Chains A and B, each alone.
Chain A
Amino acid sequence: MSIQATATDLLTIEGLGHVYEGTEPFEAIGKLDFTVPEGAFVSIVGPSGCGKTTMLRCLSGLMKPTRGEVRLEGEPVTGVPRDLALVFQDYSRSLFPWRTVAGNIAYVLPRDLPKAERAARVQESLDAVGLGEAGAKYPWQLSGGMQQRVAIARALAYRPAILLMDEPFASVDAQTRAELEDLMLAVREQFGMTILFVTHDIDESVYLADRVLVLSKSPSTIVESLDVDLPRPRDQVSTRELDDFVHLRSHIARLIRDQSMKGRPAA
């Protein structure tokens, strides 16, 4: 807690657990307790099948958890709260193909927003993701990385207090991924947002975050919470060379490997 020691908690998760009912009930989430301080960038990383998507759906209010409580700004989350936005992994099925890029963004803004301000907000968020010129295009005319930029711009224009991201860069190539990571750090500065970022990429989780939460396999619990004290602004090359970075990523990699080995018959 060295970084946000004085900050208030924006998102509080208490005793969160979820069991999928059915003929064979499946406990996706065991028990999760954590907080996301205001202004923090928190990464969640875990082995595959650690209930990350279930967790995000519960946190965002898209799904009602079987146990526990999620509070945003002190208010219990029942539906999707106004101050929360979610960026999905599958940008191509999240953007509306029948609307232009600018139309996709404008459509999530409140109806009573004056026209001029609406246009200004669309342009501002497009500029922030480096797509200032692409407003009139359709999402399907853009590359995958650019489509995810549009999805991010849409969330930015909505002005949430907290942005949840579900493995947003999992389906873009490495080069684009690095660009988008730096983009996230930049827009976070510009818009002053709190970000909860779920990924399966260990390096990415350390590179971006102030704090990394390592999840266990399902039923998921938090194995360890690690504060990342790497200096900002971060740099794709020099940050990744730092001893602290290397130690952190190795430590997390070991935790995750131990998790993946669990319950697996010895070779």
Chain B
Amino acid sequence: MKVSSSVDTVSLATPPRPTRRRPANGSRRLKDFAVRWGALLAIGLVWELAARLADNLFFPPPSRIIERFFELWLSGPPTTFFLTESVATNIMPSLARLLGGWAAAVVFGVLLGVAIGRSKVVGDYVEPIIHFVRAIPPPALIPVFFILLGFGNEMRVTLIAFAVIWPVVLNTIDGVRSVEQLHLDTGRVFEFDWRKRFFGIVLPSASPKIFAGMRVALSVAIIMMVISEMVGRPDGIGNIILGAQRTYRMDDMWAGILLLGILGYVLNAILSAVESRITRWHRGSREGVS
């Protein structure tokens, strides 16, 4: 009793830091890994068991889905690193439009956000319009993009870019508006030209917020990619899923869904890694290492 109360006092005096910040040692990391993947494995096993017992056409067991996943995309010749032709004809175009639309949205979104955030005139005129336009659910604009851009790639990339530009714009506005005045004054003292001011102060200051916007944008981009592929010219992962469902190829449908999950997970992991590398200073300066 005595011991536990003294521990309480200590933890009150210095609030415990979130576990994420603590440097993970070997056994700890192993435990984290086991907990994370163990839970997934357990759910998979329960699902497998339930699916086998139910024996329902629409819900095949995960083992069958994974088997089909390999058949569809990873059973090619060694010369193509075991990737099948479907990877080139379906997955690659999907990935290209996903990343193309997202990248375009990031570039234009950051430029627009900086213009709005740093210029009062531009902000006053454009910001209300932005808040109106972003309130429109992007799928509602599919017919408009059909008319303007046809049924192919242009329509899809534009739709993705249009849908995901807003989180980037809004986060950039927020980021560039919170640039430290003293950093800008420092730039003036040392006679920074606009390039140094933009790339040396404004962009790095806003980068943590911009990355947050980019992450939201990426997850929305995957959603929009699938939606855009369920209409118009038939190709892409979205089309595989829809086509399989319409022809009662449930294994294919679930394999496509699994593929989307993996894709989203991997892309997000890559972006997070890049983010934590570039904005390392942000975490460091907040924790006040000294």
Contacts and interface: CB of A to CB of B under 8 A. Distances in A.
B180 A158 contact: no
A166 B288 CA distance: 24
Interface residues of A, number: 26
Interface string B166-206: 00000000000000101101101111000010001100110
Interface in A80-137: 80, 82, 84-86, 88, 90, 93-94, 96-99, 107-108
Contacts of A139: 285
A72 to B, nearest CB: 13
Q: Of A62, A84, A98, which is in contact with the most chain B CB atoms at under 10 Å from its CB?
A: A98
Nearest to B184: A62
Nearest to A100: B281
B288 A140 contact: yes
Contacts of B288: 140
A60 B288 CA distance: 31
Interface residues of B, number: 23
Given A93-B183, A140-B281, A140-B289, A98 B190 contact: no
Contacts of A245: none
A225 B207 CA distance: 48
Given A96-B201, A107-B196, A85 B281 contact: no
A141 interface: yes
Contacts of B190: 85, 108, 154, 158
A196 to B, nearest CB: 14
Interface centre among A82, A93, A142 (most CB of B within 10 A): A93
Contact of B281 (A79, A97, A142): A97
Contact of B189 (A86, A93, A98): A86
B64 interface: no
Q: Is the interface of B mostly helix, strand, loop or mixed?
A: helix
A88 B205 CA distance: 19
A104 to B, nearest CB: 10
Nearest to B192: A108
A90 B182 contact: yes
A77 to B, nearest CB: 12
A98 B204 CA distance: 7
Contact of B290 (A80, A99, A143): A143
A86 B205 CA distance: 21
B284 A80 contact: no
A34 interface: no
A82 B204 contact: no
Contacts of B191: 80, 82
Contacts of A140: 281, 284-285, 288-290
Contact of B185 (A62, A79, A138): A62
Interface of A: 60, 62, 79-80, 82, 84-86, 88, 90, 93-94, 96-99, 107-108, 138-143, 154, 158
